[in-house]
Amino acid sequence: MSSFEQVATLADFGTGDRIAVVFDDRAVVVFRIGTDLYAVEDVCSHDGQPLTDGPLSNGSVECPRHGARFDLKTGHPLCMPAVEPINVYRVKLEGDNVLLGVSMSDSMLPLPVATDSCPVPPLPEVAATPAVTDPAKPVDEGQLLDALRQVIDPELMINIVDLGLVYAVALEDATVKVEMTLTSPACPAGPQIVGQSKQALERIAGVKAAEIKLVLSPPWTPERMTDEARDQLGIF
């Protein structure tokens, strides 16, 4: 095929801000924002939902099914549960004709960590942790991790252990020391996650204090999730 191909005219938008077209044998949606046009593949990379009806905001489109958002210029996912980019296409106008070209997509760039820019629901309360009944019994790492599993990331609704946020946990003289990270450096739920982690650990008999250290290196990536967490998010 030639590098650019006409797929529509400006009149096809009518009073709307988008049109669905077929280009290169793929469903594509072309968005009009002011005088700019953007074309992306009309398939959410999370679970195949068409993006045609997705709301637009700040140069991104939101998947109407589970709320992932994609940058219209690069196709990069800005918000979980999507972790893969979508294809983007070059757009140009010739008179009133809308032409699309196959893009050397920016989606070939390294996958970024999802940002915190999606709405974050309130963090659920940590359920009461059954205390270790025998204080003489040493606390083991399994108990510490079980306590941390009660802390749920409010954006993904996955516990922080299965999400891969906990990098290290150790008990030293009745003080639990934890190194953990967040799904993005500016995650607004960070203070709550840290607070609930501390709370969950300090409920264990034999634990006097919990020190939670947030680290940003290495950064969290979706590969750190357990298979169970990936299944829950529909990532295969």
- Residues at the contact surface with ligand FES, assessed by CB under 6 A: 44, 46-47, 49, 63, 65-68, 81-82
Q: What's the rounded Cα separation, in Å, for the pair 109 and 71?
A: 13
Whichever of 66 and 230 has its CB closer to ligand FES, that residue is 66
Q: What is the smallest separation between the CB atom of 111 and ligand FES, expressed in angstroms?
A: 16
Cβ proximity of 80 and 183 under 8 Å: yes
Q: What is the smallest separation between the CB atom of 158 and ligand FES, expressed in angstroms?
A: 15
Q: What's the rounded Cα separation, in Å, for the pair 80 and 165?
A: 15
Whichever of 112 and 195 has its CB closer to ligand FES, that residue is 112
Of 52, 88, 84, the residue nearest 68 (C-alpha): 84
Q: What's the rounded Cα separation, in Å, for the pair 160 and 167?
A: 10
Whichever of 60 and 196 has its CB closer to ligand FES, that residue is 60
Q: What is the DSSP letter of 218?
A: S
Whichever of 156 and 165 has its CB closer to ligand FES, that residue is 156
Q: What is the smallest separation between the CB atom of 51 and ligand FES, expressed in angstroms?
A: 8
Q: What is the smallest separation between the CB atom of 9 and ligand FES, expressed in angstroms?
A: 29
Q: What is the DSSP letter of 64?
A: T
3-state SS, one letter per residue, for 156-195: CCEECCCCCCEEEEEEECCEEEEEECCCCCCCCCHHHHHH
Q: What is the smallest separation between the CB atom of 104 and ligand FES, expressed in angstroms?
A: 25
Whichever of 30 and 61 has its CB closer to ligand FES, that residue is 61
